[in-house]
Structure 1
């Protein structure tokens, strides 16, 4: 477990996350936290890396919940707590292609989050985006294919609200 924590602190680029196990609950019709109990994730992991910790929960910095029926980001913390050994260490969460309409404050609990995919949801309120400003490690964010991306000056507005973002909608932001 100690080496896992040490390695996680040395990540400099999102592509470095491929070194760690991915807990993949995508395409499983998940709506509620209870759905986690009846679904088994696909777990992709390097051969020499343990899949679970002392508690039997997954050791991962990456959680994919894309292509489900999730409509509330607040359940992500509950889900992560149920299945992950150290949920606050999450660095990548994929919530794309769900039914999310707003961003909840609880995502701020993921203080190490580097990558957040929220594209292809129902997010329409630009004022809710500023909640992500309290995650200083967040560098990559996707919001395209949401009603919000039709707002005039969408890209400029998002980057002004979230100056820490280096890549918005998979396009690198030049400072």
Structure 2
């Protein structure tokens, strides 16, 4: 199904079959005089109840399809499937600070909590997954997205570096000013998306900030919600070597 070139949808109001091609925006209508409208409606209903190929779930995975036009068809068989909803809890740290947490097996959100450190991260993860009897190493491997934006973090806690499958890290709007903290993220070899805007280091390094980060973290594909281009990546090393002495960097 993933490589279908066309999607055929029965159009119940006009007694016709509409064929959509993802490569152009036209719809080709094939008239049928053999069945009247009432018979076609009955056949459509029968087919939808029996034929697995008519279910919407079969179509939603067509990544190459740009547009699906279904007219006034009634979608009656679609159901939520494999949706990862975030569970919200209030976690109480050892210092009695209450933290708003939302998470699932893949995502952990700790944003907007006025956090100054993440020393509690290991305990928090164990608390979240305590009913699943998972080992800590498995728990850390599960997390692919971490949002710790809009806090007061100055340092990158070592527990973050244990999230070995982390792909997305939101660090914007914190208090990080030392670029050596960002260098620690080299350990996250699967990291693809990083945000750092509205941290002091952005102003400290000014126009060199982006190229320095790209140089230090060659594994990332996006920085501050902007895709890193091949030109940027190629120039990052050159720019760093030219200007690192201004900031006593190595």
TM-score by length of 2: 0.50
1:11-46 per-position Cα deviation (integer Å, ceiling 9, x unaligned): xxxxxxx94232446xx7x7836668x667556xxx
Structure 1 match to 2:213: 158
Residue of 49, 62, 65 corresponding to 2:110: 65
Consecutive unaligned residues of structure 2, counting only runs of 5 or more, are 1-81, 133-137, 231-250
Q: Which has the higher contact order (CA 8 A, sep 6+)?
A: 1
Q: Distance in 2 between matches of 1:72 and 1:61?
A: 22
For the pair shown, the structure with the greater C-alpha radius of gyration is 2
Deviation beyond 2 Å, 4+ runs, structure 1: 18-25, 30-36, 38-43, 73-78, 84-87
Q: Superposition RMSD on alpha carbons, in Å? A: 2.6
* Higher strand fraction (1 or 2): 2
Count the aligned residue pairs.
Answer: 139
Q: Distance in 1 between matches of 2:184 and 2:92?
A: 23
Q: What is the CA distance between 1:76 and its match in structure 2?
A: 2.3
Structure 1 match to 2:139: 87
Q: Distance in 2 between matches of 1:90 and 1:138?
A: 12
Work out whether 1:174 is the aligned partner of 2:174.
Answer: no
Larger mean CA deviation between 85-94 and 107-116 belongs to 85-94
Q: What is the CA distance between 1:120 and its match in structure 2?
A: 0.4
Q: Distance in 1 between matches of 2:180 and 2:100?
A: 35
Q: What is the CA distance between 1:145 and its match in structure 2?
A: 0.4
Consecutive unaligned residues of structure 1, counting only runs of 5 or more, are 1-17, 44-58
Q: What is the CA distance between 1:73 and its match in structure 2?
A: 2.9
TM-score by length of 1: 0.69
